[in-house]
Amino acid sequence: MSKILDLLIPARCASCGVPGAPCCATCQAVWGSLSEITRGPTAGLVPVYALARYADEARRLILAYKERGRRDLAPSLGRAVADVLEQLPGEPRGPCLVPVPSRRHASRVRGGPHVQRVAEECAKVHASKGKSVTVAPVLRLGAGVRDAVGLTRAERAANLDGRIRLLRGDCPKEVVLLDDVITTGATVAACARLLGVNGIHVSAVVALAATG
């Protein structure tokens, strides 16, 4: 039924409401080139890049995608990531994206791990151009991890400590971590450290947006 409704009701931009597509060209332009951002927990560990500041269109699009069921935004978010991957300094050809994991509850509510879906859409864009980007969803958040919203940096670190797990699976020795929003940097730092101690080098973190 919902599929039929989707066909009958034209998509509207999740940011500005203009009819036509899940994200209009004007709002899609919020995803710019990569800017390196600085966060305490990732300093000296891994370079972190974001496509936009977490405000205005970027914030509206991410919130609509994550919290308001606009899963139809996944292709446009994936395209935004695909457009910048080649800008990564020293990026080897055919990078492997490791999505930062979602909480299990959030994954259920949001219809599956939302960052993984963006990574898969990004890989599709590259595949359509004959380039190879792989996705290795090898990280999981264990039970007991609270939503990070409203937690201080120290609370976030404690919240994550020992709760991220590395699954057995195909994963190359060099990867790019993909996240939606960078706030304190504690989550991506914890992911990069866990991968690092398991012999997987994180060459960069790419996020759709960063606060501040």
Q: Where does this chain bind Zn ion (CB under 5 A)?
A: 13, 15-16, 24, 27
**Three-state DSSP class for 205?**
strand
User: 127: which 2 tokens?
Assistant: 């595949």
Nearer to Zn ion, 58 or 164 (CB): 58
Residue 51's region, left for phi above 0, alpha for psi from -120 to 50, else beta, is alpha
Nearer to Zn ion, 40 or 69 (CB): 69
Nearer to Zn ion, 15 or 184 (CB): 15
* Nearest-5° Cα angle at 112, 111 to 118: 110
- In whole angstroms, what is the distance from residue 49 CA to residue 132 CA? 21
Tell me the closest approach of the beta carbon of residue 32 to Zn ion, in angstroms: 16
- In whole angstroms, what is the distance from residue 119 CA to residue 121 CA? 5
Tell me the closest approach of the beta carbon of residue 149 to Zn ion, in angstroms: 25
Tell me the closest approach of the beta carbon of residue 76 to Zn ion, in angstroms: 10
Nearer to Zn ion, 31 or 49 (CB): 31
The single residue listed with the structure tokens 């800008």 is: 87
User: 170: which 2 tokens?
Assistant: 């195909």
User: 4: which 2 tokens?
Assistant: 């039929």
Tell me the closest approach of the beta carbon of residue 56 to Zn ion, in angstroms: 11
